[in-house]
Amino acid sequence: MQIGDLIRRAGRQFGSAPALVDGDRTVSFVEFDELTDRLGNALVARGLEPGDRVAVLMPNGIDGVVVYYALAKAGLVRVPLNVRETAAEHAYKIDDSQSRALVYAGAPPAQVEIMIGAEELPVMIEQASADACDVRRDPEAPLRLAYTGGTTGRPKAVVLTTRSELAEVSNFLVDLLPNLRPDSVMLHAAPITHGSGAFFLPHLVKGATNVVLPKFSPLAFLAAAQEYGATTTFMVPTMIAMLLEEPVTATADLALERLCYGGAPIATSVLSRGIELLGPVFAQLYGQAEAPLAITCLQPWEHTPERLTAAGKPYTFVEVEVRDADGNALGAGEVGEVLTRGPHTMSRYWRRPEATAETLEPDGWLHTGDIGHWDAHGYLHLLDRRHDVIISGGFNVYPREVEEVLLRHPAVVEAAVVGLPDEKWGERVTAAVVIRAAVEPDEILGFCAERLAGFKRPRALEIWPAIPTSPVGKSLRREVRDRMVAASS
């Protein structure tokens, strides 16, 4: 089965019912099928061939969703770009993915062979053939590239296939959203390039409506949730904290059945307050780009006081183990690395065979890099990450990348970047630097602001006489973090 098959079947089954809503614009299931066919044919007519990568830099909205699934029908590989990143970051991903085409809104971050501005899309669609666009691809061929980062801070692309996409949909429908129906409504408040996009297909195949917000604000979310009767949404913990800070949340008349959250640690105080205000609707997702949103989940009825720190239990069709350094599976209470295996996992890293070999075992087990343990009842608890990735507002921040920017400042000699606990953001990016000349912290922070996406910029900076290092001269970020935490307590 192909992704296009799901779209065509939904068009036949649900016809004129609303599939997508974006402000005043509504697209039915049959219209969505036709729009993606037409745009897929237009892309092929522009000279794109099966397997070509197409970078997409579009804001939340119907047009972006149409582009994503036109690519799927045309056998092209989607390379989604986060609108919150900088032009330099976009350009790196476009180059690394060897994208032949770029579909963009606003100013293009790079020049490639085929440039398609958002304003061209309506004309392309109108002039294209309405015949079914049905380029069949091998289930193991790349469907999309999801960029993440490595221990060096250089982003690398995770290759996800039709096999992994269909498995992810199955995981959602069997475990997370088993009660989806045609009157269900998914409210996309988070970027569709991020976790929220994973909820589109499960709702589409069940005849439910996907409502897309251009950007998140608590009041806009509450208004849309009440107007459309939203039953499902996805948020990162930062968004939840912002929603709970809005006074009218306590009295809003919401129909939510699942408020799914993930992408970052959440403070138990925030989670407890959310359950108090919104009821038992919270469902935690633990996953990563290499195993999209489906390693474990904590169901609403499992959000008891003693389990608020748990990551949940494995999905039905997903295997999870906690192993020691020698690869032995560990039992309850024993701490080790979390590994997972299932048809939803990545096939490899794009153009990085060494990294692939380090992450994927020959028998399909995937090293997550996260440290955790089982409890006596079979719930997974995450303690730390093997690597020093900071998750702020649901987005991954790689310390080395931030440190490299800091070290470009002429007054900075050494730098260490860590994530400190933050009730709103999950973690806040914080830096310690050693300087060679007098400089104010605000000047260095401003230097970073010009060179990093907002979610990557340090929120605070301390000037230290020295950065603690290992015997081989490696910065001890955990020691830096521990000192900062101790100083603030």
pLDDT score at 197: 95
* Of residues 177 and 403, more confidently modeled: 177
Same domain, 333 and 429: no
Same domain for 361 and 304:
yes
304 and 439 inside one domain:
no
Collapsed DSSP state (helix, strand, coil) of residue 457 = coil
At residue 152, the pLDDT reads 42
Residues 48 and 179 in one domain: yes
Closest-CA residue to 269 (of 231, 301, 240, 249): 240
Is residue 384 in some structural domain? Answer: no
Same-domain check for residues 142 and 39 = yes
Average pLDDT of span 194-209:
96
88 found inside a domain: yes
Cα→Cα distances 483→387, 431, 489, Å: 19, 12, 10
Number of structural domains found in the chain: 2
Kindly report which listed range (69-78, 134-143, 335-344, 376-385) carries the lowest average pLDDT score.
Answer: 376-385
Q: What are the backbone angles phi and psi of residue 186, rounded to the nearest 5°?
A: -95, 120
Rounded percentage of the chain residues whose pLDDT exceeds 90: 80
Task: Over range 284-313, report the average pLDDT.
Answer: 95
Lowest average pLDDT, out of 96-105, 223-232, 467-476, goes to 467-476
344: amino acid identity, one letter:
H
**Domain end among 346, 374, 402:** 374
Q: How confident is the model at residue 489 (pLDDT cuts 50, 70, 90)?
A: confident
Q: Is 270 part of a structural domain of the chain? A: yes
Find the mean pLDDT for residues 94-117: 97
The answer on pLDDT for 264 being more than 90 is: no
Which residues are 391's β-sheet partners?
396
**Are 170 and 229 found together in one domain?**
yes
Note whether residue 412 is domain-resident. yes
Q: Give ∠ CA 22-167-90 in degrees, rounded to 5.
A: 55
Half-sphere exposure of 65 (CA within 13 A, CB side): 29
Q: Is the dihedral of CA 48, 50, 56, 61 positive or negative?
A: positive
The vertex-322 CA angle with 316 and 325, nearest 5°, equals 150
Nearest residue to 394 via CA among 168, 242, 269, 201: 242
For residues 269 and 400, membership in a common domain is answered with: no
Q: For residues 123 and 149, give the distance between their C-alpha atoms in angstroms, rounded to a whole number.
A: 37
Residue 383 domain-assigned? Answer: no
**Tokens encoding 423:** 């009730």
Say which residue, 309 or 12, is predicted with more confidence: 12
Q: Domain check: are 60 and 186 in the same one? A: yes
- pLDDT above 50 for 150: no
- Burial code (b: 16+ CB inside 10 Å, e: under 16) for 94-125 equals bebbebbbbbbbeebbbebeeebebeebeebb
Read off the pLDDT band of 316 (50, 70, 90): very high
Token representation of residue 275: 């359950």
Give me the residues paired with residue 234 across strands.
260
**385 pLDDT above the threshold of 70:** no
Tell me how far the alpha carbon of residue 137 is from its chain's centroid. 25
Is 293 among the domain residues? yes
What does the pLDDT average to over 443-453? Answer: 94
The strand order across the sheet containing 380-385 reads 319-323, 336-341, 366-374, 380-385
Q: Tell me: do 430 and 313 sit in the same domain.
A: no
Element (H, E) at 67: helix 62-73
Given 374, 400, 422, which residue is the final one in a domain? 374
Based on the fold, state whether residues 56 and 180 are members of the same structural domain.
yes
Task: Map tokens 């969505």 to a residue.
Answer: 32
- Residue 474's pLDDT is 62
Indicate if 281 and 411 belong to the same structural domain: no
**103 contacts 116 by C-beta, under 8 angstroms:** yes
| Per-residue model confidence (pLDDT) at position 85 | 86
DSSP string, 364-405: S-EEEEEEEEE-TTS-EEEEEESS--EEETTEEE-HHHHHHH
Average pLDDT over residues 330-342: 95
Whole-angstrom Cα distance, residue 355 to residue 350? 9
Bridge partners of residue 117, in order along the sequence = 104
β-bridge pairing 114-117 and 101-104: parallel
The one-letter code for the residue type at 365 is W
Measure CA 372 to chain center: 21
464 CB-contact burial (10 Å; exposed 0-12 / middle 13-18 / buried 19+): middle
Report the pLDDT value the prediction gives residue 318, as an integer from 0 to 100.
Answer: 98
Q: Which CATH number belongs to the domain containing residue 401 in this structure?
A: 3.30.300.30
Residue 379 lies in a domain: no
Q: Is the pLDDT of residue 473 over 70?
A: no
Assign residue 266 the CATH number of its domain.
3.40.50.12780
Q: Are residues 365 and 394 in the same domain?
A: no
Give the pLDDT score at 462: 95
Q: Does 316 fall in a domain?
A: yes
Domain that holds residue 459: 390-488
| Residues with Cβ within 8 Å of residue 24, at least 6 apart in sequence | none
Rounded mean pLDDT of 72-101? 95
Closest CA to 343 of 289, 303, 292, 390: 292
Q: Which helix (H) or strand (E) holds 488?
A: helix 477-488
How confident is the model at residue 470, as a pLDDT? 59
Residue 475 has pLDDT above 90, yes or no: no
